[in-house]
């Protein structure tokens, strides 16, 4: 079954340290949903500076967790907000980001046996 995430980069960084991997996963599950809520609020309020900053902040998490479906999306959100161009594309991009992150969180909770 295909996953929304792929931990190859994290596993390389961890050098076999399973506890380190679990810590990073737990941190992701704890903090990224709050970031996504802030992204949604910034989008709803047309606060493009805040939206760009929040997208920038979660970029490393998306990269280290191997969420390939969002690698370009989060960069596009940041670039669109910073350049104030193609603003009409943000709705679809933010929606995709929210949906994929929710799926990743659910998969991680299941795969790592994290209580809701």
The angle, 0 to 180 degrees and rounded to 10, between the axes of the packed helices 48-64 and 18-44 is 160
Whether 3 is in a domain gets the answer no
Whether 97 is in a domain gets the answer yes
Q: Which of 74, 26, 28, 29 is nearest to 54 (CA)?
A: 74
Whether 76 is in a domain gets the answer yes
pLDDT digits (tens, 9 = 90+) for 41-59: 999 999 999 999 999 999 9
pLDDT of 82 > 80? The answer is: yes
Domain count, the chain: 1
Whether 116 is in a domain gets the answer no
Domain containing 28 equals 8-110
Whether 96 is in a domain gets the answer yes
pLDDT digits (tens, 9 = 90+) for 17-44: 999 999 999 999 999 999 999 999 999 9
| CATH number for 35 | 1.20.120.160
Print burial letters for 82-111: b (CB count within 10 Å at least 16), e (below 16).
eeeeeeeebeebbebbbebbeebbeebeee
Q: pLDDT tier at 1 (50, 70, 90 boundaries)?
A: low
This prediction has a pTM of 0.94
What pLDDT is attached to residue 81?
A: 97
């Amino acid at each position: 079954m295909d996953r929304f995430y792929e931990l190859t980069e994290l596993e390389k960084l961890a050098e076999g340290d399973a506890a380190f991997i679990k810590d990073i996963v737990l941190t992701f599950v704890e903090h990224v949903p709050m970031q996504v809520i802030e992204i949604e609020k910034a989008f709803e309020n047309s606060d493009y500076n805040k939206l760009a900053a929040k997208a920038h902040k979660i970029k490393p998490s998306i990269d280290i967790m191997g969420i390939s479906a969002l690698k370009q999306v989060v960069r596009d959100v940041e670039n669109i907000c910073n350049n104030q161009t193609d603003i009409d594309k943000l709705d679809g991009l933010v929606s995709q980001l929210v949906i994929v992150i929710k799926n990743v969180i659910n998969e991680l909770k299941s795969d790592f046996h994290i209580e809701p």
